Structure 1
Amino acid sequence: MNLNNYTIKAQETIQAAQQLAYNGNNPAIETEHLLKALLSDKESPIIFLLKKNNVAIPLLENKLEEGLAKLPRNQGGEPAQSVSRDLNTVFLKANASLKAFGDEFISPEHFMLALLQINDATAKALKDAGLTEKGLIAAIKDLRKGDTIQSQTQETQFNVLNKYARNLNEAAR
């Protein structure tokens, strides 16, 4: 995995997932760690994408905590920091989705899409909370408004109005 192919936010998400696995004394970094890291980053567009799809975020967070509690733990010694098979599949699927969006770098949105495409407890939790692949793709396109990710910092430019100003169109609705 070449981190130069990831946006800064995606790199930070991977580091946060690794730290969650380490703190949880888990033998591998799992998809649950990645999703928790995605949900924890308030600067990431992920919460916007979930809200746009009317996802029951509290339900998702509860399911995620249940999943994290079920993960195996190392007894004694340092936790191994390997990537699980499912998480490796997520990284591969995220990389494969670049072409569909015309992107040059993998971003947190690619992670969310890839998490939905695998067959594990994390994908089930996302689907149970109301997220669909079709809805997520539509929300990503709405967020980007035709832009693509051509630099490692590109995603910081998405959703700037909602981040730094009051959207009067939204307030009027």
Structure 2
Amino acid sequence: MDIEKMTLKVQEALNLAQQTAVKMNHQQVDTEHLMYAMLTQDDGLIPRLIDKMGINSNAITKEVYDYLDRQPKVLGESAGASSVYATRRLEEVLLKSEDIQKKMGDSFISVEHIFLAFLKGDYPSTSILKKHGITEKAFLEALKSVRGSQRVGTNDPEGTYDALKKYGRDLTEEARGNKLDPVIGRDEEIRRVIRILSRK
């Protein structure tokens, strides 16, 4: 599997998964290390999508961490980053995510492809996700609302998803929630704005 065909967030998640395995004194990097890494990534897409589905991503993160904490630990001189290896299950998830990426017509493997591979598989994380009501259909709907019709054509597409919500304000929504200052009684300000906007 070519690491150059993975987005920066996937590379970061794989690195974080390895660091988590080393920190927890695990001898192997497993699927749950990767799931935990994707759930705890700074400005990560997966927690945003889970929250968009109306599900508490922190509860899922805690359950995945608790699962990892119950796994056997290796202590001593053999423990460390050089002795950690990837499990077959992790390789399987990455291969499935590559297939999903191709089916979706994307150029790079992104975190959403890996998450879908988890949902299509049978892993400990999958049962945690399903217990919280995360289905493939619900995830794809949340992804579509954030991603729209964009394709993963660069190695950093996650930064472009939902850009309006990230960098803009929905004034209509704020007006509905009475969060804007009232316009009534501001005739002078309104005239000034109209004069400025009508200049050539």
TM-score (normalised: structure 2): 0.80
The equivalent position to 1:122 in structure 2, one of 125, 139, 158, is 125
The structure with more radius of gyration: 2
- Once the two structures are overlaid, the 10-residue window that deviates more, 127-136 or 76-85, is 76-85
Aligned residue among 127, 134, 138 for 2:137: 134
Q: What is the aligned-residue RMSD (CA, Å)?
A: 1.7
Give the share of equivalent positions with the same residue, in percent: 31
Cα distance change of structure 1 residues 75 and 8 upon mapping to structure 2, 3 Å threshold: same
Shift of 1:24: 0.9
- The CA deviation at 1:166 is 3.3
Question: 1:27 corresponds to which letter in structure 2?
Answer: Q
What is the CA–CA distance in structure 2 between the aligned matches of 1:11 and 1:75, rounded to whole Å?
Answer: 27
Specify which structure has the bigger relative contact order, considering alpha-carbon pairs within 8 angstroms and separated by 6 or more residues.
Answer: 1
Alpha-carbon distance change, 82 to 169 in structure 1, aligned in 2, over 3 angstroms:
farther
Q: Structure 1 length as normaliser, TM-score?
A: 0.91
Per the TM alignment, residue 163 of structure 1 is displaced from its structure 2 partner at its CA by 2.4
Kept in 2: contact 1:53–1:135 (CA 8 A):
yes
Measured at CA, do residues 54 and 23 of structure 1 come closer, stay the same or move farther in structure 2, by a change above 3 Å?
Answer: same
- Aligned in 2, Cα 1:169/1:126: closer, same or farther, shift over 3 Å? farther
1:16-165 equivalence runs, <5 A: 16-77=16-77, 78-79=79-80, 80-165=83-168
Contact 1:86 1:118 in 2 (8 A): no
Aligned to 1:2: 2
- Assess, with a 3 A threshold, how the Cα gap between structure 1 residues 35 and 167 changes in structure 2: closer, same or farther: farther
Shift of 1:61: 2.2
CA displacement 1:85-108 (0-9 Å, x = unmatched) = 221111011101012221010011
**Structure 1 counterpart of 2:153, one-letter code:** Q
Q: Tell me the distance in 1 between the aligned counterparts of 2:68 and 2:173.
A: 36
Which runs of 5 or more residues in structure 1 are unaligned?
none
The residue identity in structure 1 corresponding to 2:14 is I
Question: Distance between the aligned counterparts of 2:171 and 2:34, measured in 1?
Answer: 34
Please tell me the residue identity of whatever aligns with 1:46.
I
1:158 CA drift (Å): 0.7
Aligned 8 A contact 2:24 2:73 in 1: yes
Shift of residue 141 of structure 1?
A: 1.8
The answer to whether the 8 Å contact 1:45/1:159 transfers is no
Unaligned runs of 5+ in 2: 178-200
Contact 1:54 1:130 in 2 (8 A): no
Count how many residue pairs are aligned between Structure 1 and Structure 2: 173
* Larger deviation, residues 8-17 vs 66-75: 66-75
Q: 1:74 to 1:170 in 2, by over 3 A?
A: farther
